[in-house]
Every structure is written in C-alpha cells, then in structure tokens.
Amino acid sequence: MKIEIKSDEDLDQYVICHKCHTLHQEVTIEDGSKALCSHCSSVLYHRDDHLLDKGLALSITGFIFFILANSFPLIKVDIMGQEQVITILSMIMRLIESEYYIVALFVTYLVFIFPLMIFMIYIVLFLLLKIGKGEEITKDLMILLSKILPWNMSDIFLISILVSLVKLMSMLEIHMGISFWTLAVFVMIDLYMTRSIHLGELWKLKKIIYKES
Amino acid sequence: MPTVDKERLIRCPVCEAVNIDHGKSNVCRRCKSKIYQHQKFNTEKSWAYLMTAIIFYIPANLYPMLVIKQFGQEEGSTIIGGVVLLWEMGSYPIAAVILFASVFVPVLKFLLLFYLLFSVKYSLGNDKKVDKHTIYYITEVIGPWSMIDVFVVAILAGLIHLSSIEMVAGTASTAFALSVFFTILAAQSFDERLIKEKR
C-alpha cells in the first residue's frame, strides 16, 4: 500500500507500534485517554495536556524518594545478638571488599547510577521544556535517556530484596528498614513514569514548544 | 506528488519517530541517530554477543553462586543446588522464582534469540505465521529479570558478615552477571528490520 509523503513533516502523523511494528495514522483523542494498537492492543500514545507539570512533579518526587532510599537502612537483621543493617551503598562496598569487582560494577550501575541519572535527566528535561530554552540540550538528553532507560533495574532489585528476605526468614529475625518502603515508592513512581510517558510524546511536545518560541 | 510504500516506513529505536527506509544506512530525521547502523543483513554482532552469553552461562551453573562460611566450614551452593535446597526446606514460591529467573528465563532467551537469528537468515519452512516481532519483544522484556539471583547474592553477602557466620558471593555470580549483560546486548543489537525483510 502506498501513502503520500510531501515532506518529512508528513511522517509525523504516523506512528509505528513498538511491539508489533504495525503502521498507524494518528488521530486526535480526548485529554487523558490513550490510543491502542489495532493489531496487538498495546498503547501507541497518550494525550495529556498537563504532561510537563505532571512529569516534573513526578520526577522531583521520585528523586527525593531515591535519595531517601539511599540514606537509611534497607533491611535490619538480628543475628546472634548482633544487629546488621544494609544500604545499597554498603552492599556495593561489601562486594568491592570481597573483590567481586565486576558484580559490584553491575550492581552500582543498574541499581544506583542509572536510576539516579534517569531522574536527574527527567528533572532537567521537564524544566527546559517548561521554560522553552535549550533545544540542543533537550535533544541530547532525550537521546541519552532512551539509551539508559532499558538498563534501569530498580524494580528487579526490589523483588530481589523480597526474595532474600524470604530466604533468611526461616533462620533470622528480620526488620524492614525505612529505605525499603521509600524504595518501593520510588519503584512505583518509576514504573508509572515509564508506562505513562513515552519518549515519542516528549519529542512531539519538544517540536511544538520550540516552534512557538 | 511523491508516494512512499507503507512497507518502507520504519521506526527509530531512539526517539520513536516514523522514518522512510532508504536502504543501507538511515539517519533519523528527528534525533539524527543512526537507525540500523550495522550494514545490510548483519547478524554477526548479535551472534557474537549470544555466544559470549552462552559461554558465560556454563561456569555460572558449575561454580557456586553463594558461599556460606560457618564456624570455619565453607559451603558453596550452585544455582540448581540452591533451588533444590530451598525446595527441600519448603519455600516453594521462592524456589520457583529463582528457578524461573536463573534457569528458565536465560535458557528461553537463548532459544528465542537462536530462533530469530536463524529464521532471518534461512527460511525455516512455514514460519510466516509466527509473529517474530512479539518474540523479539518477549526477549527484550524478560531479559533483565534473570538479574534477580545476582542481586539476591549481593544483598545476602552485604547483610551477613560476622566472624562466626559469613556469606560471600561465589565465582558464578560474576559469570552470571556477565551472561545476562551479554544476552541483553545480543537482543539490543538484533536488527529488527531483518524480520520485515523475510516476511
């Protein structure tokens, strides 16, 4: 089937499903609703008129919760009368001490550096889009974001904490630390953001914002 | 008026923009990233990553994942050994989670990638009905979940280190982390356009 393309601009009215690669023509939808793929019914795009405010609020909240999750103990155990605590950073230090450098490197990047980077990029990105300045920087940030998003594994780390808790439950007394709950909130914000904010929508928004100014 | 074949429209993996496929090398009109920079029909990169991942998966299963040092005695348990131990202790859900994340997911991913890489190069009879885009999507989604075991080992090693009882990471954790890393790279370097070419 042929379609008419006069310039590159015309291509912006089409969208390709990220899951099954079916081509769709974009239609205007109501605020707050989403368009689904006709073939595999995964989400194609959302319409959200307050995307910037919402995104900025969520990314700042997520950032605060991430800082909190790293400043208090995640788990506390009573073992033979001695109390042991763990934070994400102490866990990494322990891996380095026992000379597992490669595992330490992976853990550092996957559960500390990448999540931190993603939320810092989100904050800068939404701020720049809001004030409508720095077109080049927003472009570079969005490209960087798309490269590191698949490497964020905080959600998997949260499940791992639960698994290790159940593993230890039979032999020790375990208490959840404050950071466990803040990490859980952080993961929820993170999941919500990756589900509700597609990068393609930000690119479209960027085009509108910088065209006006 | 110029017209473009629908089949020639491709999706930029970085910014999701719709682009016209110009053949060998494409540059995205919106974010200027290269789309499919590996030349025509190249599956070598993906094969290389996949092979590396499979090679690392062997020591990951042979060496101990977690070593428990208790009263001067050292006891290591491999991935399968750990699952069996948990099953005998009666924690069936956790045994199932570990079995799923460390054995089922990596093996499934190897097989799916094998199938994808083979099927885009050689026609495997009547496989046109198989939705390869969905298969590719599955390999991308389930991939990171095999990291659970590595994270668990890191948490346990960080939590329990007393003079009388100590848990340390085993050799397998390094091999396993590398294996997962390379399967993710293999999936990412797979050229999705190849699926379309053979359809």
Distance from CA of A123 to the nearest CA of B (A): 18
Instruction: Yes or no: say if B25 and B14 are a contact pair by the CB < 8 Å rule.
Output: no
Tokens found for residue A185:
């909130």
Q: What is the model's pLDDT at position A119?
A: 95
Q: Average of pLDDT values for A141-158?
A: 91
Among A18, A75, A103, beta carbon nearest to B150: A103
* Helix, strand, coil in percent for chain A, rounding step 5: 65, 15, 25
Nearest 5°: the CA angle A49, A52, A54 is 85
Between residues 84 and 143 of chain B, which touch chain A (CB distance below 8 Å)? 86, 89, 91, 93-94, 97-98, 131, 133-134, 137, 140
Closest-CA distance of chain A to residue B129, Å = 13
- A110: closest CA among A125, A97, A91, A126? A91
Whether the pLDDT of residue A42 is over 90: the answer is: no
Specify the pTM. 0.86
CB A102 within 8 A of CB B177: yes
Question: Which tokens sit at B88?
Answer: 């005998």
What is the percentage of chain B residues whose pLDDT exceeds 70?
86
Per the CB < 8 A criterion, the answer to whether B134 and B71 are in contact is no
- Cα angle, residue B194 at apex, residues B17 and B147 outer, rounded to 5°: 80
Which residues sit opposite B168 in a β-bridge? B67
- Residue A106 touches partner B, C-beta closer than 8 Å: yes
Q: Which helix (H) or strand (E) holds B73?
A: strand B73-77
Instruction: Evaluate if residue B59 carries a pLDDT over 50.
Output: yes
Residue A201: per-residue pLDDT: 86
Q: Which residue has the tokens 């919106």?
A: B30
- To the nearest whole number, what is the mean pLDDT of chain A? 88
Q: Do A168 and B98 touch (CB under 8 A)?
A: no
- Residue B14 contacts A, CB cutoff 8 Å: yes
Within 10 angstroms of residue A123's Cβ, the number of other Cβ atoms is 17
- The count of CB pairs under 8 A between chains A and B is 184
What is the model's pLDDT at position B124?
64
pLDDT in tens, A59-87: 999 999 999 999 998 888 887 777 888 89
Q: Does A166 touch chain B (CB under 8 A)?
A: yes
- CA A59 to centroid of chain Cα atoms: 9
**What's the pLDDT at A192?**
93
